[in-house]
Structure 1
Amino acid sequence: MVSIGDGEKLTKFLDLNPNVPKDIAFVDDSDTFDVYEAANFGVFTDTKLAKGTKVDIKAPDFSAKQWWGYFTNVAKLAPVKKGEKLTGVPEGVLRLGGTFVIDGEDVVYAHRENLPGMSPKIEDVATAGKLW
């Protein structure tokens, strides 16, 4: 798992998500987003969907406690650099992500988000990773 952020934000995320193994979690703290560029991940504002594309983004099925945890930590985990002067939406917030499953040196599954929240089905990722 690679995300935009810094060590402090990663530590907070891992504290909030104890099921995520610490040894597979990394952050890209560069100002250039080279890792995201290398993965061909775009920026939300550059997204162009084909006409007729069905967008079906839903809020997570969180309990009240989970939503409270989200709202009380979202600012602490946002991909914004310390001391960054906000004159608009920060670049890190606009970045799209994706999901890869790697087996040795082979990429056995790849998914790139076209819009935030357009994540792959967990069953597809698990099957590709031979998790079940």
Structure 2
Amino acid sequence: MIKKTVFQLTTFTAFVLIAAGVLFFNPVAAMACGYGNSGGSDFVPQRQVPNGGNQVTGNQAAAAIDQEQAKTIVKNHVSKLNPDLVVGNINDAGGFFEVEVMNKDNEVVQMLGVDKYSGRLMLIN
């Protein structure tokens, strides 16, 4: 009788733990980046490819962005965060562009990098 009660209690406890794990640690609730996208649709929106992903392939991988496109990418990003900031000088740094983000007093407040091949933004300082 005691063995049967212990077995039932152990089975019930295991069931409760499994149910709690499914409810609280379910990957369905972790779709902050969008379903099926690493980084979601806003990860690198300026470099979206026709099939809906963020990865460029084939002939598209060879097409690098130029300074004007880098300026547009940073301008769009900065205008979302703080409309009082403007884009300053742009320097070619090899695999990416260094872009100065300046305030209205022409002081550099941030340096951003724009990857030439993916268009991804990165903090430099």
TM-score, structure 2 length as denominator?
0.26
Answer with 1 or 2: which has the greater Rg: 2
Which one has more relative contact order, counting CA pairs under 8 Å at least 6 apart? 1
Q: Which has the higher strand share?
A: 2
Q: Which has the higher helix share?
A: 2
TM-score, structure 1 length as denominator?
0.25
